[in-house]
Amino acid sequence: MAKYRLGVDVGGTHTDLVLTDTRTNKILIEKVHSTPANPSLGVLEGVQRFFARGVSATDIDFFSHGTTVTTNALLEMKGASIGLLITKGFRAIQVVQSQARESNQFELKFQRPSELASQQMTREITGRIDYAGEQVEPLNEDDVRQAITDLKAKGATSFAVCYVFSFMNPAHEQRTAEIVREEMPEAFISLSSEVLPRIREWPRMSTTMLNAYLEPGLARYADDLDKGLDTAGVATARRFLMQSNGGVMPLGATAGGGRTVHTLLSGPAAGVQATGYVLGEQQGWSQVVTMDMGGTSCDIAFIQDSKPLEVTEGMIAERRLDVPAFDISTISAGGGTIARLTAANFMSVGPDSAGADPGPVCYGRGGDRPTVTDADLICGFLNPEHLLGGGTPLDRDGAVKAVEDTIANAMDLSAEEAAAGIIRLINARMADEIRVQAAKKVIDLATFTLVPFGGAGPVHAAMVADELNIPRILVPPNPGAFSALGLLCSDIVHDYIRSDIREINNLESADAEAYFVGLEEQATTDLANEGLGENEREFIRDLDLRYAGQGYEIRTPLEGLSASPMTADGLAQVQERFHELHQTLHGHSARDQEIEVVSYRVRVRVPVAKQDLPETAILDGVTEPVGERVVTYDGKEKFNAPVFTRDTLKSSVIQGPAIIEQFDSTTVLPPGWTAKLDKFRNIVGERNR
């Protein structure tokens, strides 16, 4: 009996599905239009297509899913109506925040984004815990009950509870949750002591409010998807959701426990995970920059030594979010990004997108504004009969008319010149983002390989590499569904943190061990509640350290040290590692300064069987083109570019300009580039100028 593993990535324009046969390692791919109003419908449509190809629902024994549900809800401000409960006297935290401006410091009209919980939806609660976790003033339960009554009347359906020093003693927050459940059983509750039990009031409050704002929507979506899979006959209980840290969690874990904020980069993280595991660990491409260009956005990430770079704090949609995540930078540069003229008669591209509905003009689904995909079609990069294997014919005449009416006629350009201008602008935006992020990370791009994926990534990759002087690109076998493949390359991962500031030289190793053991016990309990109590697991320990008085910490791994159980020798070793990390990151260290422990971190990893892309014999010989197409890169000079089908590529080198087509994407090879297959059937393109 066949056994299948299914990975599904929901993007802004398309939903990608990858199904692998565990016996033969054969991969099947489906690509359907996303359904923004209810993303689960697109997922289930793709699943039904596999059934139509002869796959039995009962033979699918693993389902993993990456989604942009929470990301889109935040970007579009379509989350829940939330009430905020805070310690009396701390109402101003949401207004003052950290006093830092994350945007352009010279922006005269700077405004913070709107509050997730307005002052009218905020209530101060009497009761106080001190810095040591001791109760200074008891919780006033009448305040809590009155607040719930008031906020419920104002429409609150989800509550964020963020009391001072709750990370040292969560008793007041836990009692508040009990009262909320008594007064309003249907409400969603996010406690800061569960979402982010660490120091700094504003990051903790912001992250907790984000969880409260997004949790109801994700819970509804997960429930709809769960029921839809049941109805379709997919009986496996092994259903998982991708997190921002590259691991997955059970689909049922999305409701409660403060896990929702860990999904805000769910979709982009899957492709990065695939790159790190498949291309890095398995195939040896250790220094990589990824360019995931889909329908609405482009996600940039860096892989060093086969490991995706991570962060523990950051911003998303101008809002503070402090949870472990891949270091991914997202910009509005996708196939559906809309082009227009500014009031000054200059061409502009983005930031808005035509999305899945109506989509680019050439899709013929009602779009009337030119997009990057329309420009790609006009310049000859896309085959009007080939998108999605011919299942989606493209309307070139409609694209030309939209570009002429919107841009070309007003600028006295041909449609080809205007389309080439759109492409140059979007390429420059992606190149600029990669350049800026590389500079921040002190990365020499000349030593890196650019890996494009997403439906539009391989179309633009070589042109972006030209802008950056990156010497090569690597296009994986199924780039349009590469993120979905990443969902089959991920372990179950949960992250835990607990703050308690102490000078490390005054810290007893037994106390440090007690903190780590407490977090590991919490992880063990969570795994048991998720039905994973008997599974093999690995605990990974880190410490957040700083020099005394610093305003920031460095996450310092304990891997390879005498750290489990924690000993005095282990504490000495981790101090030396911190000095070295500080030197590497900031160019200096201060070995004569006292080091403080700020937070304890534990990551639990439950191994999951992963997808393998084995070596494949490449047929010797010269690849014959299946045709040719007129292409232009500047709108003026035109080339007769041979068109190849990826499935028939042999060992010969392909000279640019050339087009390589496949079901889920198209690879464009400009003049001055060559390409050939490697032993894993990746297309490796190299710049020869």
Asked if residue 440 belongs to a domain, the reply is no
Asked if residue 555 belongs to a domain, the reply is yes
Asked if residue 232 belongs to a domain, the reply is yes
pLDDT of residue 176: 98
Q: Is the same domain home to 588 and 672?
A: no
Q: Is the same domain home to 90 and 199?
A: yes
Look at 174-188, 464-478, 559-573, 578-592 and tell me which has the smallest mean pLDDT: 559-573
Please name the residue that has the structure tokens 């109805």: 231
Q: Is the same domain home to 100 and 194?
A: yes
pLDDT of residue 450: 98
> What average pLDDT does this structure show over 507-527?
94
Contacts with 300 (C-beta within 8 Å, 6 or more apart), sequence order: 289, 290, 291, 292, 328, 329, 330, 331, 430, 433, 434, 437
Residue 60 binned pLDDT confidence (cut-offs 50, 70, 90): very high
Asked if residue 289 belongs to a domain, the reply is no
Instruction: Give first-to-last CA distance, the chain, whole Å.
Output: 52
Kindly report the backbone phi and psi dihedral angles of residue 628, in degrees, each rounded to the nearest multiple of 5, phi listed first: -145, 160
Q: Which of 135, 145, 139 is closest to 127 using CA atoms?
A: 139
Asked if residue 108 belongs to a domain, the reply is yes
pLDDT of residue 597: 96
Q: Is the same domain home to 212 and 225?
A: no
Kindly report the backbone phi and psi dihedral angles of residue 134, in degrees, each rounded to the nearest multiple of 5, phi listed first: -90, 145
Q: Is the same domain home to 20 and 143?
A: no
Tokens of 593: 């300064």
Q: Is the same domain home to 230 and 185?
A: no
pLDDT at 389 over 60: no
pLDDT at 13 over 80: no
Asked if residue 496 belongs to a domain, the reply is yes
Q: Is the same domain home to 122 and 201?
A: yes
Q: Which of the listed residues 191, 217, 243 is the one where a domain comes to its end?
A: 217
Q: Which of the listed residues 263, 291, 323 is the one where a domain comes to its end?
A: 263
Q: Is the same domain home to 637 and 596?
A: no
> What average pLDDT does this structure show over 241-246?
93
Q: Is the same domain home to 61 and 95?
A: no
Asked if residue 381 belongs to a domain, the reply is no
Spell out the SS3 assignment of 103-170: CCCCCCCCCCCCCCCCHHHEEEECCEECCCCCEEECCCHHHHHHHHHHHHHCCCCEEEEECCCCCCCC
DSSP 615: -
Q: Is the same domain home to 85 and 27?
A: no
* pLDDT tens digits, 107-137: 777 778 888 999 999 999 999 999 999 999 9
* pLDDT tens digits, 588-646: 999 999 999 999 999 999 998 888 788 888 889 999 999 999 999 999 999 999 999 99
Asked if residue 544 belongs to a domain, the reply is yes
Q: Say if strands 158-162 and 188-191 run parallel, antiparallel, or are unpaired.
A: parallel
What CATH number has the domain bearing residue 49?
3.30.420.40
Asked if 40 contacts 224 with a C-beta cutoff of 8 angstroms, the reply is: yes
pLDDT of residue 496: 95
Q: Is the same domain home to 660 and 602?
A: no
pLDDT at 497 over 90: yes
> What average pLDDT does this structure show over 12-21?
85
What is each CA distance from 498 to 41, 319, 522, 552, 556, in whole angstroms?
39, 22, 11, 16, 15
Domain that includes residue 177, residue range: 78-217
How many domains, the chain? 4
Asked if 657 contacts 639 with a C-beta cutoff of 8 angstroms, the reply is: yes
Residue 353 binned pLDDT confidence (cut-offs 50, 70, 90): confident
Q: Is the same domain home to 126 and 159?
A: yes
* 3-state class (DSSP) for residue 208: helix
pLDDT of residue 255: 67
* pLDDT tens digits, 286-335: 999 999 998 888 999 999 999 999 999 888 878 899 999 999 998 888 88
What is each CA distance from 409 to 167, 336, 413, in whole angstroms?
61, 22, 6
Q: Which of the listed residues 606, 636, 668 is the one where a domain comes to its end?
A: 606
Measure CA 458 to chain center: 19
